[in-house]
Chains A and B, each alone.
Chain A
Amino acid sequence: MTNTLKNFTRKIREINQRYSKPHIEMSPGVKIALLSLRVYLLFLVSLMVYKFITLLS
């Protein structure tokens, strides 16, 4: 079990290393798109958290 977990962690590290740098050309358009996506997701997550809190209260 410990071995499997260790192997899994090693695999995740390996994947992170393999894909540490984006290979797509980071033009201004791509950067803007990715930034907008982050803002959008942050907005959605905030909405979900708000909903969760209002449900609890």
Chain B
Amino acid sequence: MNFFSKLYYLLRKWIKAVQLYFVLAGPGLVVMIADNDAGGITTYAATGAKYGYNLIWFLLILIPVAYYVQEMTVRLGAVTKRGHAEAIFDGFGAFWGWFSLIDLIFLDWLTLVTEFVGMTSALGIFGIPGWLTVLGVVALMGMIVINGRYWTWEKIAMLFCALNLIYIPGAFMVHPAVSDILKNGLIPNLPGGLNGELFFILMANIGTTIAPWMLFFQQSSVVDKGLREKDIPWGKFDTLLGSILTVVVAIFIVIVTGTVLKGVNIDDAAQAAEQLMHTNHWVGTFMAIGLFDAGLLGAICISLASSWAFGEIFGWAHSLNQKIKEARWFYASYFFTLITAGLVVLIPGAPLVLITLFVQVIAVTLLPAALVFLILLLNDKKHMGEYCNTLWDNMVGGFIVLSIVILSSLYGISVLFPDLFR
């Protein structure tokens, strides 16, 4: 009897923990899965097509990298109750604040354009014209936010996150050789040696895993959700789960293209989807749906990251818990960013390739600054108290930040001067 009562107590405890997690889950999962945006899907598809399963081990390394960086935003948001933009203004003064805010707004807008490029090309495969995609996306995203509740927005975003898992059944449908995945993918190796091309792909994978908007988005999201210090362990768990899921999805994309399109030169994910359709109609369809979903998730988060940052600094009401009437400027900036980015894609002959390259270069100017600010803010004992970075946090975080700064800078430089590393 004693055993059964203990078992019952344990079960109740677990159920309560799961229920509590579902209440607190969101920011970490959404930001991490949205990290697999249209640009990310293209990078993973190209990685698989070029190097097969050989770089799966490298993607696995990116789990702790993404986790350690993003969990710092959870602590910072939960303790200070301020978004990242406001924290930078307050911590480092107006100069660094304006630098970060203007850079972020510009970068977010350009990234949003690339998300629309991904979404229009994905639905273009099914014959849907670009204008209809843009119109539909703006209407859908409008409906998601105007209900005036953060909770509803978050749960809808999580539904789209679930759709991102579509690549997993896609990978099973192409029947990859599991032994090859284990043999070639899990043992660290550099296919063909460390040459310029491989270096470019490795840097692109890092660049898609940590993007500046993610830091701003997750911290603001934690604040808008109202997470408190006692929720930090759950916020961390949410972030860990998100970082595992995002890499799992990336690995399955690599498996799909590594199995079917190995040796094919992939320029974008829509092209990969079309090529896959020739071999297996459903896998190609899944790839296209996944690409649209990735673009949509990216757009949902990126447009909000900008509006939150604007609201924090200009002192406007900036919560999804407020109705349009109460937070007019917040929603105005949200729709302005969204509509203008969508319209750019519809301009005939718009320099979309140049925009895509420009995103990577601008990101390099913002990412190191945002990461350095993050580490410094987490070491501010006055504001962070007991949640301040420990020596171990600083060693791990510092190493990761330094590596990202060096590699993303090299990536940005290689975009500017493509022949330098080749």
Interface residues on B, range: 20 to 34
B369 near A11 (CB under 8 angstroms)? no
Contact residues, B356-390 vs A (CB, 8 A): 361, 364-365, 368-369, 372, 376-377, 380, 382
Closest to B99 in A: A41
> Contact check: which of B93, B313, B365, B377 meets A44 at CB < 8 Å?
B365
Pairwise interchain contact A25-B382, C-beta atoms closer than 8 A: yes
Query: Contact: B369 with A37, CB < 8 Å?
Result: yes
Mask for B162-201, Cβ within 8 A of A = 1, else 0?
A: 0000000000000000000000000000000000000000
Asked if A19 and B409 sit within 8 Å, CB to CB, the answer is no
Q: Are A48 and B314 in contact (CB under 8 A)?
A: no
Among B314, B315, B368, B416, which residue has its beta carbon within 8 angstroms of that of A40? B368
Q: Does B92 sit within 8 A of A, measured CB to CB?
A: yes
| Cβ–Cβ < 8 Å partners of A53 in chain B | none
Residues of B within 8 A of A24 (CB): 91-92, 376-377, 380
How distant is the Cα of A34 from the Cα of B90 in the complex, in angstroms?
15
The reply to whether A51 and B417 contact each other, CB–CB distance below 8 Å, is: yes
Taken together as a complex, chains A and B put the C-alpha atoms of A23 and B92 apart, in Å, by 7
Classify chain A: how many residues form its interface, as a range.
Answer: 20 to 34
Return chain B residues, CB-CB under 8 Å to A16. Answer: 94
> Would you give the shortest CB distance from A11 to chain B, in whole angstroms?
6
How does the 8 Å CB contact mask read for A11-45 relative to B, with 1 for contact and 0 for none?
Answer: 10001100111111100001001100100110011
B380-A20 in contact (CB<8A): no
Are B364 and A44 in contact, with the CB atoms below 8 A? yes
The reply to whether A41 and B94 form a contact with Cβ atoms under 8 Å apart is no
Report the separation of the CA atoms of residues A34 and B99 in the bound assembly, to the nearest whole angstrom.
13
Q: Which of A20, A45, A48, A51 contacts B93 (CB 8 A)?
A: A20
Cβ of A22 and Cβ of B314 under 8 Å apart? no
CA distance A25 to B381 in the complex (A): 9
Please list the 9 inter-chain residue pairs (A to B) with the smallest Cβ-Cβ separation, ordered nearest first.
A24-B91, A22-B93, A19-B89, A19-B94, A16-B94, A51-B416, A22-B92, A24-B380, A23-B90
